[in-house]
């Protein structure tokens, strides 16, 4: 999304076009001129790169370059993922950062096994199912979003600690240096960063520390100017010296708790930011979870994803199992989209009923991923008709063919701002890592003097039961993880070697984005970069299916409507990245061509 500020690094010799540019656009007195003003070399983003030695794909050129720098210096895919994630915390501060959490999927080339880390944020230990209920009514969603009440215990630094201790080869301080340098020296503001700031400026102005950082001089950051975050640089330096645990104990932890429980609001704004209930005990008690991935077989490939608390692995896996019985490679475009939409609808119906934090809920993960259960649901799909939403769930523990006897639960809203990165190294290790602070701009609350925004991830909980007639597995609870849709995914061949790894941001649309990209690649024969770029449809057990403009204006829309489909338009769904292992051993990195300003794919040693 941003062109990086030129730096004296080894980052410029990467698989991206290096150009000399002329004068920058006019800039304000509150931000320094960007590198373009001096005619300096900058790295242009490209959506696909092929070569040897490892690969990185993210939404941002600076972040991808940070990962490539680590790979060039002998780091592995895990090291590169942490470095890339830290850099995204600088350049994508409204989507990710150390104030949030995420899910980490790792393929170990030596053992040919897949491992995962659940680094999801948690509710305070004092929370109960009425966390978002006041006077018997749910708190207005907009009020919960911009408040301390929506902030969960961050999981991102603990995820880095777990990943590096388990599979990394470099120290955290080494991996944070590119991001620390980037925060100190700055990056070039682009139109997307300015637009995201503009859409948040009203609530950012409520918090003096957020306004000072992201609205310099009271104005929006100017495209072409250099954006610096010295507070975050110092925070990264502190984490490098003391370790990731410094966020969970000590002065930084105290600063987070104080900020959550008494949000620093500008008195002149008149805004009431509901206080949170986070304690030092919550931070000290936080733990990531090493757990087995979900696994399903599709077209002879092994598809591995995130088990609950994420619903990504179970929902993508169930939908693939439903589609297994249809030869999508021979289907027409209309038949393909119809089947894909209906499989998504069914899988989301089951997700809403059955998936929550398994520490609190009895989640039938194995049964949801069984082919037997998928077959009992697949028979609901008709070639000449459309299922009605909200569709009732089935019972994976007692599959009944074509049953819709359950009580439907509509899909709740999830913030669509998140980011995904994918890395691979010369040894064949692969990482798919999705991380977030929830909505664009998270809670809007910056920890004073620390340079990062806190998440509003607890708003992913159901505030009240989605359907009062049925148990809702996603109500808040003490230390509970809210259900997520993040779907970092790794696909292996019959020899347990990597084929592709991918993921996306986008709230609940993450699941459909990953599903559509996988079927585009594995069934429709699209190159990975084109499977990512293809116009998207997203059905989440709702009355209408979302379409991007490329399908909204296509003749396919009318043909699908003739079957009974209803649609609404969404200008942009997801922003995927992925890496693919080519048959000759080269890595292919791929990212968006257009969405979110385009992504950044890089490899260590480019090759034709």
**Contact between residue 436 and residue 459 where contact means Cβ atoms under 8 Å apart:** no
Of the candidates 349, 322, 350, 352, the residue with the CA atom closest to the CA atom of residue 338:
322
**Contact between residue 235 and residue 451 where contact means Cβ atoms under 8 Å apart:** yes
Cα–Cα–Cα angle for 179, 182, 184, nearest 5°? 110
Residue 412 annotated in active site: no
- Tokens 């979110």 correspond to 596
Of the candidates 349, 362, 304, the residue with the CA atom closest to the CA atom of residue 322:
349
Residue count (the chain): 608
d(CA 347, CA 327): 19
- Tokens 């077959």 correspond to 375
The Cβ-side half-sphere exposure at 114, using a 13 Å CA radius, reads: 29
**Contact between residue 63 and residue 421 where contact means Cβ atoms under 8 Å apart:** yes
- Tell me which of 418, 422, 440, 519 is the catalytic residue: 418
Cβ neighbours of residue 388 closer than 8 Å, sequence gap 6 or more: none
Bridge partners, 54 (sequence order): 425
Q: Order the strands of the 187-188 sheet from edge to edge.
A: 32-33, 225-227, 187-188
**Contact between residue 169 and residue 76 where contact means Cβ atoms under 8 Å apart:** yes
d(CA 160, CA 124): 22
**Contact between residue 593 and residue 604 where contact means Cβ atoms under 8 Å apart:** no
Of the candidates 99, 32, 89, 36, the residue with the CA atom closest to the CA atom of residue 63:
89
- Tokens 């999801």 correspond to 120
- DSSP secondary structure string for all residues of 222-280: PTTEEE--HHHHHHHHHHHHH-GGGGTSSHHHHHHHHHHHS----GGG----------H
Cβ neighbours of residue 233 closer than 8 Å, sequence gap 6 or more: 180, 181, 183, 184, 451
Residue 62 tokens, joined:
């600076």
Cβ count within 10 A of residue 198:
13
Cβ count within 10 A of residue 469:
8
Residues labelled as active-site residues: 418
């Amino acid at each position: 999304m941003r062109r990086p500020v030129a730096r004296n690094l080894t980052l410029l010799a990467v698989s991206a076009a290096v150009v000399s540019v002329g004068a920058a656009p006019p800039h304000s007195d509150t931000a320094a001129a960007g590198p373009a003003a001096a005619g300096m070399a900058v790295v242009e983003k490209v959506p696909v790169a092929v070569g040897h030695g490892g690969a990185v794909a993210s939404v941002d050129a600076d972040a991808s370059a940070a990962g490539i720098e680590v790979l060039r210096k002998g780091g592995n895919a895990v090291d590169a993922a942490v470095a890339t994630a830290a850099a995204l915390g600088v350049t994508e501060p409204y989507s990710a950062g150390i104030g949030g959490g995420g899910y980490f999927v790792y393929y170990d080339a030596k053992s040919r096994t897949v491992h995962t880390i659940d680094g999801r944020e948690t509710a305070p230990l004092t929370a109960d199912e009425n966390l978002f209920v006041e006077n018997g009514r749910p708190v207005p969603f907009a009020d919960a979003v911009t408040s301390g009440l929506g902030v969960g215990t961050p999981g991102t630094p603990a995820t880095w600690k777990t990943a590096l201790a388990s599979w990394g080869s470099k120290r955290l301080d080494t991996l944070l240096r590119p991001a620390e340098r980037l925060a100190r020296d700055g990056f070039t503001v682009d139109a997307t960063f300015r637009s995201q700031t503009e859409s948040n400026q009203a609530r950012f102005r409520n918090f003096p520390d957020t306004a000072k950082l992201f609205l310099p001089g009271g104005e929006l950051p100017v495209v072409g100017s250099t954006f610096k975050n010295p507070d975050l640089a110092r925070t990264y330096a502190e984490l490098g010296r003391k370790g990731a645990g410094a966020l969970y104990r000590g002065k930084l932890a105290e600063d987070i708790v104080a900020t959550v429980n008494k949000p620093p609001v500008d008195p002149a704004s008149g805004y009431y930011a509901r206080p949170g209930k986070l304690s030092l005990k919550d931070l000290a008690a936080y733990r990531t979870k090493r757990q087995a991935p979900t696994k399903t077989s599709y077209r002879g490939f092994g598809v591995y994803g995130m088990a609950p608390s994420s619903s990504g692995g179970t929902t993508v896996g169930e939908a693939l199992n439903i589609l297994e019985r249809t030869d999508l490679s021979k289907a027409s475009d209309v038949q393909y989209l119809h089947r894909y939409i209906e499989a998504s609808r069914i899988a989301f119906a089951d997700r809403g009923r059955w998936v929550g934090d398994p520490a609190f809920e009895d989640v039938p993960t194995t049964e949801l991923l069984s082919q037997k259960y998928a077959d009992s649901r697949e028979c609901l799909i008709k070639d000449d008709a459309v299922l009605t939403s909200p569709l009732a769930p089935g019972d994976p523990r007692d599959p009944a063919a074509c049953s819709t006897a359950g009580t439907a639960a509509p899909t709740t809203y999830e913030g669509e701002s998140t980011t995904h990165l994918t890395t691979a190294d010369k040894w064949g290790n692969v990482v798919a890592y999705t991380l977030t602070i929830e909505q664009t701009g998270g809670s809007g609350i910056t920890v004073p003097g620390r340079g990062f925004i806190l998440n509003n991830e607890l708003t992913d909980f159901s505030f009240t039961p989605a359907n009062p007639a049925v148990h809702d597995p996603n109500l808040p609870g003490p230390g509970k993880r809210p259900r997520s849709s993040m779907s970092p995914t790794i696909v292996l061949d019959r020899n347990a070697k990597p084929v592709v790894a991918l993921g996306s941001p986008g709230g609940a649309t993450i699941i459909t984005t990953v599903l559509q990209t996988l079927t585009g690649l594995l069934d429709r024969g699209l190159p990975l970069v084109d499977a990512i770029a293809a116009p998207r449809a997203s059905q989440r057990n709702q009355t209408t299916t979302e379409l991007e403009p490329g399908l909204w204006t296509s003749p396919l829309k009318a043909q699908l409507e003739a079957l009974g489909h209803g649609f609404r338009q969404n200008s942009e769904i997801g922003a995927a990245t992925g890496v693919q292992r080519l048959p000759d051993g080269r890595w292919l990195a791929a990212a968006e061509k257009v969405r979110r300003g385009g992504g950044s794919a890089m490899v260590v040693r480019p090759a034709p």
